[in-house]
Structure 1
Amino acid sequence: MQLNPRVKSTILSQQNANCVVMVPPKEFQFNQETAADNEFQTSLQLTPAELTQRVMDEFNTMVEGLRSQGIDVIEFDYHPGASKTPDAVFPNNWFNTQPGGTLTTFPMACCNRQAEVRVDALSDLLAKSNRPVRNTQDFTQWLEKGKYLESTGVMVMDHIGKRIYAALSLRCDRAVLDAYATTIGYEVVAFATKLSSGASVYHTNVMMSVGEGFAVICDEVIPEFERRLVQKTLAKTKQVISITEAQMGQFCGNILQLESQQGDKFIAMSQSAFDALTPVQKSQLKAHGKLLPFDVTTIETIGGGSVRCMLAEVFLPYSPD
């Protein structure tokens, strides 16, 4: 069914959002706190002015590119506070939304990331964007126990199958994960990971992505006995596309399937990821939507997160005045 492109869709895909929140990287810089367990971060020799110009250009180009395809982008601008938030450009780590109108906030591991949580300001913006929050859930009380769950950074959701895929790590505590899964009625498929360095993958969404009919995963970093379970579970309903650890390092797993207001499907990714995918992998993905590569080289190099990390899906229903 084709919708009038001037009319916002009130139809929500079960798996894919047609609206996202993005936060401009006004305070972006190398984050020493997150670098403790994020091997994807690399410092660049740029002046503060050069860095800000580059990352704002990358951000604005991505916003314009998504909007040009009919994907609704809500820019969550904010007034900087006393605490700097170098990773605010990655909002998907502190909240998520559900079709019933719920906004949930999550406990993040690093102190300077906890300062990103601005529930009232975000709720006001979503209401002004005709995506009102009906109720809220708060899991940040787990911070008192030193336990963390960084939202869709660590939880890759199969909304159709009602499953959460999660690589356990400092930022993905099993107790908090199970508590959240129980709240929304989802099954948990949790597993360990081990990179060539011996470290764990810090966020599940850098190693895998689940779309409506496909799953991209760097399964070679999962221990064999758990790998078989993850592969078997995904293969029940998805076309499984395996990527290598080297491809994961180019953010081939940090991709996200979205839909336009007219229902057209897209797969957002970085230019680095697009260039690292093989022709066969690109062909497989194209069967599930138009590929949308964005050059976010500076953001992904310094921040250690890429396009998917920059997109916080909005599943709140569109409610016109």
Structure 2
Amino acid sequence: MLITRDPQAFLALTRRLAPDAGPATARGVFLVSPDGFARAEESARDNVYMASTGFDAGEALAEHRALHQTLSTQLPVVAFAGDAATPDALFPNNVFATVPGRVIVGRMRHAVRQREAARADIRGFFTGLLGYAETDLSSQPHPCELTGALVIDRARGIGFCGLSERCDAQGAALMHAAFGLRATFVFDLAPGEYHSNVVLAVLAGRAALVCPDGLAEPAPLIALLQALYGRHVVLLSPAEKQAFAGNAISITPEAVWMSQGAADRLEPGSQAALRQAGLAVRSVALPAIEAAGGSLRCCVGEIF
């Protein structure tokens, strides 16, 4: 297993890998309801996407219910209750993630989010009900906010980890090992960016969305993505990124899911590139939820 900042070393290994590490998309997903939806002041310190006002709990709950109902037409969806003491819990992919037969618990930077990792119901769902083993990173000192910081190509078993205040180099190494990845490329996010999954998405193992504006040094990562995914790499504009077009996910092999606001801001070239990759754009309106600084992908935890 290789974890590196060297793009040539990463590419020398990954370009030889077959897409046989596992399924490219999940067999189910889980959500956490935005009960007690409100601005989390701690999280706002390093999340520039979070609104300062205008948090509407009723609208957020309605949007989340619509998201649940819509995703349920595609694959099984499990929804857990939220808690006013953890207002960011509607973004569970940062705290809980899975590989086949195992659940991983991340170490969050902020105390308001560290409380989420202690939830016995979510842990118990995976360990007690599904019988998954547990890898618990939550009590060690290095922030590693799971699939917020680490974007994974599940088919190839490789990852792209952006460092910020939400994930340091040791945290990246811990996640690389926890997910059992064949290779991880580590890079720096641009100042002000908090999570990789706002500026980068790998879609069904065959396409990628990336916003150069969100990377400290865009060229190496973009070159890697183009070597792996060819013409199916979509370069997002700053306006597309700001609308959360990079916060997208493929939960089935034939589609990419993002918020309605993100889909509306997709430029014609981006739309065409996704069509050429065989990915239909599907969306759900999430304007109230996006006030909390995340969008559709952040709401979706994957069950492998």
The two structures share one fold, judged by TM-score above 0.5: yes
For structure 1, which segment, 118-127 or 31-40, has the greater mean C-alpha deviation from structure 2 after superposition? Answer: 118-127
Question: How far apart are 1:123 and its partner, in Å?
Answer: 4.0
What displacement does 1:119 show?
5.0
CA contact (8 A) 2:22 2:154 kept: no
**Partner residue in 2 for 1:142:** 140
Aligned match of 1:279: 268
TM-score with structure 2 length normalisation?
A: 0.86
Amino acid in the other structure paired with 1:60 = R
**Is the 1:234–1:240 contact (alpha carbons within 8 Å) kept by the matching residues of 2?**
yes
2:247 aligned residue (247, 254, 257): 254
State the identity as a percent. 27
- CA displacement, residues 105-133 of structure 1 (integer Å, 9 cap, x when unaligned): 010011111111245312443579xx713
Mark the structure with the bigger radius of gyration.
Answer: 1
Give the Cα–Cα distance (whole angstroms) in 2 for the partners of residues 173 and 163 of structure 1: 18
Residue of structure 1 equivalent to 2:219? 228
Q: Does structure 1 residue 201 correspond to structure 2 residue 193?
A: yes
How many Å apart are 1:181 and its aligned residue?
A: 1.0
Cα separation, 2, equivalents of 1:291 and 1:40: 23
- Cα distance, 1:40 vs structure 2: 0.2
Work out whether 1:300 is the aligned partner of 2:290: yes
In 1: Cα distance, 2:169 partner to 2:158 partner: 15
C-alpha distance in 2 between matches for 1:35 and 1:304: 8
Q: Distance in 1 between matches of 2:198 and 2:71?
A: 21
Matched, 1:163 2:167: no
> 1:159 deviation in Å?
1.9
Q: Which 4+ residue blocks in structure 1 deviate beyond 4 angstroms?
A: none
Letter in 2 for 1:272: G
TM-aligned CA deviation for residue 291 of structure 1:
1.7
Contact 1:123–1:132 at 8 Å: present in 2 too? no
* Counterpart Cα distance in 2 of 1:104 and 1:229: 29
SS in 1 for 2:93: helix
State the secondary structure of the residue aligned to 1:257. Answer: coil
How has the CA–CA distance of structure 1 residues 176 and 45 changed in structure 2, closer, same or farther, with 3 Å as cutoff? closer
The answer for the alignment partner of 1:242 in structure 2 is: 235
Deviation readout 1:55-91 (Å, 9 max, x if unpaired): 11000011111112x221101125x4xx711111000
**Residues in 2 aligned to 1:221 and 1:53: alpha-carbon distance in whole angstroms:** 32
Alignment correspondent of 1:61: 66
CA offset at residue 277 of structure 1? 0.4
- Structure 2 portions without partners, runs of 5+: 1-20
CA distance in 1, matches of 2:170, 2:152: 17
Aligned pairs for 1:26-65 within 5 A: 26-45=35-54, 51-65=56-70
Q: Please provide the CA RMSD for this pair.
A: 2.0
Partner Cα distance (1:103, 1:113) in 2: 18
Could you say if the C-alpha distance between residues 31 and 121 of structure 1 is closer, same or farther in structure 2, counting changes exceeding 3 Å? same
1:167–1:201 contact (8 Å) kept in structure 2: no
Counterpart CA distance in 2 for 1:123 and 1:108 is 16
- Which residue identity is paired with 1:41? M
Are the aligned partners of 1:28 and 1:88 in contact in 2 as well (CA < 8 Å)? no
What residue in structure 2 maps to residue 3 of structure 1?
none
Q: Deviations over 1:272-300 (max 9, x none)?
A: 11011012211222343332111110110
Unmatched 5+ stretches in structure 1: 1-11, 316-321
Matches within 5 A, 1:99-118: 99=100, 101-118=101-118
Q: Is the 8 A contact 1:265 1:290 kept in 2?
A: yes
Aligned residues: 279
CA offset at residue 305 of structure 1? Answer: 0.3
- 1:6 maps to what in 2? none
Partner of 2:202: 210
Q: Would you say 1:97 and 2:98 are equivalent positions? A: yes
Counterparts of 1:119 and 1:39, CA distance in 2: 27
Question: Could you state the TM-score of these two structures normalised by the residue count of structure 1?
Answer: 0.81
- Select between 170-179 and 249-258 the one with higher mean Cα deviation: 170-179
How big is the shift at 1:33?
0.4
- Report the 3-state secondary structure (helix = DSSP H, G, I; strand = E; otherwise coil) of the residue aligned with 1:137: strand
What does the per-residue CA deviation read over 1:181-202, in whole Å, with 9 as the maximum and x for residues that have no partner? 13414322111232xxxx3310
Aligned residue identity for 2:115:
A
Tell me, in whole angstroms, the C-alpha distance in 2 between the residues paired with 1:127 and 1:188: 27
The one of 281, 289, 301 equivalent to 1:291 is 281
Q: Report if the CA contact (8 A) 1:193-1:223 is conserved.
A: yes
Which residue number corresponds to residue 313 of structure 1?
A: 302
The amino acid of 2:269's aligned partner reads V
